[in-house]
Amino acid sequence: MGKLIVGTAMVNDISQLHNISDKLLFDEDSVASVSNDFGNLVLEVPSAVLHPSSIADIIDLIKFSNKCSTPFGVSARGCGHSVRGQAAARGGGVVVDMSSLRGKGIGVRVSWDPSSGHYYADAGGEQLWMDVLRAALEHGLAPVSWTDYLYLSVGGTLSNGGISGQSFLHGPQITNVLELDVITGKGDLLTCSHHINSDLFFAVLGGLGQFGIITRARIILHKAPTRAKWVRLLYSDFSTFTRDQEHLISCKKGPDYVEGSLITPQSPPNNWRSSFYSSSQLSKITSFLKRKKNGHGLLYSIEFVKYYDKQTADTIDEEIEAVVEELNFIPGLLFMKDVPLVDFLGRVKRQDTDRSEGQLEETHPWLNLFVPKSRILDFNAGVFVDIIARHNLSSGPILFYPSNKKKWDCRMSAVVPDEDVFYTLGLLHSSTRNDAEYFDELNNEIIEFCEKSGIEIKQYLPHYKSREDWMKHFGPRWETFQETKNRFDPRMILSPGQRIFND
């Protein structure tokens, strides 16, 4: 057996790695396949890639790192949908390709728990949310909280939060989990829940992979609707737009999904996220967008959905009409579709297969922020009307929609503004490599504006370059976060790509 290097650890005999030696790949192509991510902005080359055939393989890798005088980093990679190298293992670490477990682990199993009164799905951390949906629908069930894109791994979204237009009603995905199996940074496999190893349970949910690798999640399921009434309304006034969104998320018999977005000449109504409008509808919207009285060349759009099934099919139109009557959108600019539930939830098509050479050169310098409700008028004036309107480059969808803080659990690691209502901003830029730096400058300008204006934003899917910025992000919760890291990953092995404890 020959020598090999994993991180800074010299292994004289590959047999020391026991049964994972044939699953660790060091060749150039294998390493290159996990050196980049969806953002296509950061290139971090690991020493090796582990293709596990069981959870035990991951445990063996982490325990081996712990035995080294200088441990190497271990990063779990689900779908590589991070945008700043968060799933990378820089500095000679090892990336664990979690997708290798698909078809080898528990998959997705649907069950009923009489003690809690919940249907639930036990899903491997490597499973895609689309897999969870399909398995649950076979039993007439479905999760209630989603991301807009379903080709993401269960472990990946639960390590961040998992948000979309259902979050105002059901909370993010992390608040709809009953139990987890987690491999800690010590290599211990622990089951945790609200009542068992609860400190680990709450830390891992939204914990950015710092405390453990999620290998199983027990996800709450409810009776699934079958169809969706999908409505979009257009606004020219920001205050009216946000007031109506806040009304929608407070209605007792309101929508099941609410999101908002901006329409600009560079961020058109139809985009890769969903093609909703017909050509004649697009012409109508474009004509209104160009009117001088519209002011800043901006329109705002509310998107809401009500689900229904055979039992409520006779009343759904009346329910939609009752909701619409209370809103103050531009007359004549209401558009509606009636689609199967799966078509709505799967509206953002899979992006990680059959990518052309041109797509491979595309970058995604995204910025996701939580903005406190009390400052959204200032945010609109400084960011939407000023900064974004001045930057005249093709971009992508610009999302802006509210959520209720009471639907989040403050015991979990995810951080949100300290207000009852806050807004999610999603600047989902797509650009060429040559333009990526320009969009980074735009993002930085937005962040600097908020800091100078005293708008206490929080980054979602955060990316910081200094320990001080991370401390500011977590605020008074930083000490607990650090103590939990020392308890479950004392040698700072897990998720080095986040750059929290691995500068």
Tokens 């894109």 found at: 149
Of 21, 53, 47, 16, residue with least CA distance to 34: 47
Per residue in 199-225, pLDDT (tens digit) is: 999 999 999 999 999 999 999 999 999
Tokens 């199967």 found at: 340
Would residue 113 show up in a list of annotated catalytic residues for this protein?
no
Per residue in 86-121, pLDDT (tens digit) is: 999 987 899 999 999 998 888 999 999 887 788 999
Per residue in 422-445, pLDDT (tens digit) is: 999 999 999 888 889 999 999 999
Looking at residue 394, its pLDDT comes to: 64
CB atoms within 10 A of CB 18: 13
DSSP 279: H
Tell me the C-alpha distance between 503 and 400, whole Å: 32
Looking at residue 2, its pLDDT comes to: 40
Looking at residue 287, its pLDDT comes to: 78
Tell me the C-alpha distance between 260 and 244, whole Å: 10
Residue 28: its H or E element: helix 28-32
Q: 60-69, 235-244, 265-274 — which is least confidently predicted?
A: 265-274
Indicate where the chain has its CATH 3.30.43.10 domain(s).
4-101+491-498
The arithmetic mean of pLDDT across residues 402-412, rounded, is 98
Of 94, 178, 187, 31, residue with least CA distance to 496: 94
Return the higher-pLDDT residue of 354 and 302. 302
Whether residue 395 has pLDDT greater than 80: no
Three state DSSP letters for 372-416: EHHHHHHHHHHHHHHHHHHCCCCCCCEEEEEEEHHHCCCCCCCCC
Note the Cα 241 to chain centre separation in Å: 24
What is the β-pairing status of strands 9-11 and 4-6? Answer: antiparallel
The arithmetic mean of pLDDT across residues 46-72, rounded, is 95
Which one from 51, 81, 364, 463 is the annotated catalytic residue? 81
Tell me the C-alpha distance between 481 and 479, whole Å: 5
Per residue in 153-174, pLDDT (tens digit) is: 999 999 999 999 999 999 999 9
The arithmetic mean of pLDDT across residues 263-286, rounded, is 77
Tell me the C-alpha distance between 114 and 119, whole Å: 9
Tell me the C-alpha distance between 212 and 488, whole Å: 8
Whether residue 272 has pLDDT greater than 90: no
Helix axis angle, 467-474 relative to 478-488, nearest 10°?
110
3-class state of residue 228 by DSSP = strand
Would residue 296 show up in a list of annotated catalytic residues for this protein?
no
Compute the chain's Rg from CA coordinates: 23
Looking at residue 247, its pLDDT comes to: 98
Looking at residue 296, its pLDDT comes to: 63
Tell me the C-alpha distance between 133 and 98, whole Å: 19
Which one from 44, 148, 181, 303 is the annotated catalytic residue? 148
Looking at residue 292, its pLDDT comes to: 47
Tell me the pLDDT band of 233, cut-offs 50, 70 and 90: very high
Of 220, 176, 184, residue with least CA distance to 200: 184
* 305 φ/ψ angles, rounded to the nearest 5 degrees: -135, 140
Indicate where the chain has its CATH 3.40.462.10 domain(s).
227-345, 357-463
Indicate where the chain has its CATH 3.30.465.10 domain(s).
108-224
Cβ within 8 Å of residue 22, ≥6 positions away: none
* pTM listed for this prediction: 0.94
Provide the mean pLDDT of the chain: 91
The CATH number fitting domain 108-224, selected from 3.30.1330.10, 3.40.190.10, 3.30.465.10, 3.30.429.10: 3.30.465.10
Tell me the pLDDT band of 245, cut-offs 50, 70 and 90: very high
Q: 9-13, 24-28, 372-376 — which is least confidently predicted?
A: 9-13
The arithmetic mean of pLDDT across residues 81-89, rounded, is 95
Tell me the C-alpha distance between 6 and 204, whole Å: 26
DSSP 459: E
Looking at residue 102, its pLDDT comes to: 93
Looking at residue 105, its pLDDT comes to: 82
Return the higher-pLDDT residue of 229 and 270. 229
Check residue 33 and give left, alpha or beta (phi > 0: left; psi -120 to 50: alpha): alpha
Return the higher-pLDDT residue of 330 and 502. 330
Three state DSSP letters for 433-451: HHHHHHHHHHHHHHHHHHH
Cβ within 8 Å of residue 107, ≥6 positions away: 123, 124, 127, 131, 135
* 138 φ/ψ angles, rounded to the nearest 5 degrees: -60, -20
Looking at residue 36, its pLDDT comes to: 95
Whether residue 228 has pLDDT greater than 70: yes
Whether residue 496 has pLDDT greater than 90: yes
Whether residue 178 has pLDDT greater than 60: yes
- In DSSP notation, 102-154 reads TTTS--EEEEEETTTTEEEEEEETT-BHHHHHHHHHTTTEE-S---S---SBH
Looking at residue 56, its pLDDT comes to: 96
Which one from 259, 303, 364, 429 is the annotated catalytic residue? 259
If one looks up domain 4-101+491-498 in CATH, what number appears? 3.30.43.10
Tell me the C-alpha distance between 422 and 245, whole Å: 12
> What is the layout of strands, in order, in the sheet containing 334-340?
334-340, 227-235, 299-308, 257-263, 398-404, 421-427, 367-372, 458-459
Domain 227-345 part of CATH 3.90.1010.20: no
442 exposed, middle or buried (CB, 10 Å; 0-12, 13-18, 19+)? buried
* Torsion 323-327-332-335 (CA) sign: negative
Would residue 259 show up in a list of annotated catalytic residues for this protein?
yes
Tell me the C-alpha distance between 174 and 217, whole Å: 10
If one looks up domain 357-463 in CATH, what number appears? 3.40.462.10
